[in-house]
Structure 1
Amino acid sequence: MAEDAVAAVPTEPTTLRKPRIKKAPDLPILERRNWLIHLHYVRKDYEACKALIKEQLQATEGVCEYAVYVQALILRLEGKIQESLELFQTCAILNPTSPDNLKQVARSLFLLGKHRAAVEVYNEAARLNNKDWEICHNLGVCYLYLKDLSKSKEQLNLALQLHRQELSTMTLGKIHLMEGDTEGAIQTYLQALQLSPESTELLTTLGLVYLQNGLFQKAFEYLGNALTYDPSNYKGILAAGCMMQSHGDYDVALSKYRVAASSVPESSPLWNNIGMCFYGKKKYVAAISCLKRALYLSPFDWRVLYNLGLVHLSMQQYASAFHFLSAAISLHHGNATLYMLLAGDV
């Protein structure tokens, strides 16, 4: 007898469980709008950012550290340094263990010209974080303004030990030049170039140092490299043009200056050099026109006045030459050539 077939017992269909959606954690009221404040700030939408900050400070009775911090940053960007300082001090009271708050207080003091007070605050920030290269760098800059070059070099070298970067190197090289240590400045810039070989700022600065010391071949090499990386580099163009001008290549120098004039049309040294190129080509009217533009842009530059006196003297306009040379002497007493030209004019 055949076995009876066993009927399958129907089972109820199993329902798939939906994954439970996790609810985002509720942010404390002090931080609820911080992300939106940050978003508007980095987008440079400062008006919307200030409106949000106002709402946040009203909701938290003025104790939201981040809102106060960003408001202080915006005030600094608007040039209201004293008001930003007061707000950064409020941040430091709300969170006294934050070195960032103290760094911003010190930065505002520095911008107000209170360099000694800034040094004290930076030192306090360094006690909270002694591995921050920015604190060491800014201390070096403050000591530089206070004319304490030894402490400035000490802090800048410490900043470079913590983080090799261009900013501290440029300042350290500047100090070497102030001390008359040209070789030390050159070595500092060369070491920095090993880390940033394409830095137009370093290449241009090194070229200018060589140019001032009469090493024209090396100056031309580094200035040429700077212009290769950035053809619109104003300082490099001006220096290269000056070298060509000193060798009598006035047309080539003028072609360089024409490029620079398109980016910095209100540069007094540029128009001074253009004027002296025309003087070298014996185009005296054009030279006077350019030099007077340079004088308009920088009325207390004795070099421009000297050049104007020289051009008027060449045109035998002795009264005008006397006027400009006398003005140059009143601004710069220690140049013997000015007295020689004035005596020849008289």
Structure 2
Amino acid sequence: MVTTSKNLVNKYTVKMRKHSIFSDKFSENEFVRGSHNWLLHARYVRGEHAVCLELADDLQKQTENTHRFAHYIKGSVLADAGRLQEALEKFHSCLRLQPQEPEPLKQVAKCLYRQGRFQLSLEAYLEAEKLTKHPDPDIYCALSECAYNIGEIQRGVDWARSAVQAGGGERAGALLARLLIKNDDVPGALAAYDQSLASYACGADTLAAAGALRLRAGDPKRAFQLLGAALAQQPTQHAAALALAAMMLQHKDVDAALSRLRSALAAHPTCVAAHTDLGLALLAKRKFVAALTCLQRAAWAAPLSAKVAHDLGLALLICKRPTSAFCRLAAAAALQPSQPYTVLLIGIALERLGDSRADAAFARAAVLAPDDSLIRLNFAGRHARAGRLIEAVDEISFTARLLERDEKPDPQIASALTSLFELIQDAGIDVPELPESTTKPKVPTLTNTEPNEESIGADEV
């Protein structure tokens, strides 16, 4: 009995020793884990990723691969390096160790979003939102972006509103405004931008976007203030510079517009819009070779842009290169068949080439925009040049009624209409008198900006 009791005591003491050794090791690992988290974080924030990975590997060896924060930091480093699939594995290791932690799940959703797997990212963010104890504006903003990418704009707007209510700040307000613009709700987008500007100290990007929207909404004074504030905060903000240049071009201040466009190109050399606007500004300054060069660069950078092809075709037409202009305009019409001005320019190019298909192009432009006075005026001029004076008279009368209907008729169109009316009268055709609202004093027309025959080379065939 005595030996049996002694054996039981010895076994019990051995078990106690083993348990105490395991407890000491576990306590030591916990101490190491807690004491090195700050060092991991500091290395990561400083960008010392190689040292950070070495430290994370050492901690995993000491803790038998159970150090959650080391997994998390290693996943973050891999995600920053673009190794998204490996980063996903590390974040999943964090989740296996502590499934109720929302931060690794948010990083999993972020990696899935960067991989273009928007539906899976949306589901992961929804799971993270369930685990959070308080409303997280970052999650709501991410949900909004995922919903937009899968085509659910209204759900994106709702989540963006939730982000604003949760205190998402400037990011949430700007995101809500962008989604409202995509949803064709310009007043709502203006209100969202105004709320963000009134509540937060917004950056240059938000100021530039708000200014561009104000310009689009017809409020140039407020737009000028916002765009100027954006450039004062960040002189290299090319979106603000582009919008200001557009305003200056509208007010015929070409020199100031050129300065803004050059600064925009210095900040963003591959910006297609800056090259296009710079080409049009140089065209207005009669610098035809430089204008064609800028527009050609824009066409190389964006070969599938209908607007760029249209602008280049217009410039080639002004430079008396109808063959090249026709090629560019035909490409623009193929990309955007319902643009009436492109079809109109095609008709002008075909007429200069002596092609009989010009009549069909003018007629097609009139069908696409039946109430556009500029297109109707050009159609009347085409009839007159082709000797169809009766049809020209009908088009002149229709254009005069369109101008009479407008509150502020274009004086240049009115002047050209009056000139065409007088030419047909000189030809001996009886036409009714034009309304007084269309008989404006003559102003310089676009034909004054065309180059001389000697300044431009022969057209490429």
Match of residue 232, structure 2, among 225, 228, 246 = 228
Corresponding position: 1:111 with 2:114? yes
* Code of the aligned partner of 1:253: A
Question: Any idea what SS the aligned residue of 2:337 has?
Answer: coil
What corresponds to 2:441 in structure 1?
none
What corresponds to 2:40 in structure 1?
37
Corresponding position: 1:78 with 2:81? yes
Aligned residues: 322
Q: How does 1:85-234 map to 2 (within 5 A)?
A: 85-129=88-132, 130-234=134-238
User: Is the 1:172–1:188 contact (alpha carbons within 8 Å) kept by the matching residues of 2?
Assistant: yes
- TM-superposed deviation, 1:309: 0.9
Structure with the higher helix share, 1 or 2? 2
* Code of the aligned partner of 1:77: D
Match of residue 271, structure 2, among 249, 254, 267 = 267
**Distance of 1:279 and 1:34 partners within structure 2:** 61
- TM-superposed deviation, 1:118: 1.8
Q: Deviations over 1:134-160 (max 9, x none)?
A: 112211221222222332222222222
**Distance of 2:135 and 2:315 partners within structure 1:** 57
- Segment drifting more, 223-232 vs 41-50: 223-232
What corresponds to 2:311 in structure 1?
307
Query: Under a length normalisation based on structure 2, what TM-score does the superposition of the two structures give?
Result: 0.66
**Distance of 1:127 and 1:277 partners within structure 2:** 54
* Code of the aligned partner of 1:114: R
Match of residue 330, structure 2, among 317, 321, 326 = 326
What corresponds to 1:344 in structure 2?
348
Q: How does 1:3-14 map to 2 (within 5 A)?
A: none
* Code of the aligned partner of 1:125: A
- TM-superposed deviation, 1:197: 4.5
- TM-superposed deviation, 1:241: 0.8
Match of residue 59, structure 1, among 50, 59, 62 = 62
- TM-superposed deviation, 1:30: 4.3
**Distance of 2:261 and 2:92 partners within structure 1:** 48
**Distance of 2:44 and 2:322 partners within structure 1:** 60
**Distance of 1:92 and 1:119 partners within structure 2:** 18
User: Is the 2:178–2:189 contact (alpha carbons within 8 Å) kept by the matching residues of 1?
Assistant: yes
**Distance of 1:138 and 1:344 partners within structure 2:** 50
**Distance of 2:306 and 2:53 partners within structure 1:** 47
* Code of the aligned partner of 1:268: V
**Distance of 1:289 and 1:178 partners within structure 2:** 33
Query: Under a length normalisation based on structure 1, what TM-score does the superposition of the two structures give?
Result: 0.87
User: Is the 1:198–1:229 contact (alpha carbons within 8 Å) kept by the matching residues of 2?
Assistant: no
Identity %: 30
- Segment drifting more, 263-272 vs 326-335: 326-335
* Structure 2 unmatched ranges of 5 or more: 1-26, 351-461
Instruction: Rate the CA distance shift 1:164–1:47 in 2: closer, same or farther, 3 A.
Output: closer
User: Is the 2:332–2:342 contact (alpha carbons within 8 Å) kept by the matching residues of 1?
Assistant: yes
Q: Deviations over 1:17-46 (max 9, x none)?
A: xxxxxxxx9563545543332222111011
User: Is the 2:237–2:267 contact (alpha carbons within 8 Å) kept by the matching residues of 1?
Assistant: no
User: Is the 2:196–2:202 contact (alpha carbons within 8 Å) kept by the matching residues of 1?
Assistant: no
* Structure 1 unmatched ranges of 5 or more: 1-24
Instruction: Rate the CA distance shift 1:198–1:111 in 2: closer, same or farther, 3 A.
Output: closer
**Distance of 2:271 and 2:110 partners within structure 1:** 29
Question: Any idea what SS the aligned residue of 2:334 has?
Answer: helix
**Distance of 1:32 and 1:192 partners within structure 2:** 41
- TM-superposed deviation, 1:214: 2.8
User: Is the 1:291–1:304 contact (alpha carbons within 8 Å) kept by the matching residues of 2?
Assistant: yes
User: Is the 1:37–1:53 contact (alpha carbons within 8 Å) kept by the matching residues of 2?
Assistant: yes
Indicate the RMSD between aligned Cα atoms, in angstroms.
1.9
* Code of the aligned partner of 1:162: A
What corresponds to 1:11 in structure 2?
none
User: Is the 1:193–1:199 contact (alpha carbons within 8 Å) kept by the matching residues of 2?
Assistant: no
* Code of the aligned partner of 2:69: Y
- TM-superposed deviation, 1:257: 1.6
User: Is the 1:30–1:63 contact (alpha carbons within 8 Å) kept by the matching residues of 2?
Assistant: no
Q: Deviations over 1:60-94 (max 9, x none)?
A: 33221111111111111111222212221121111
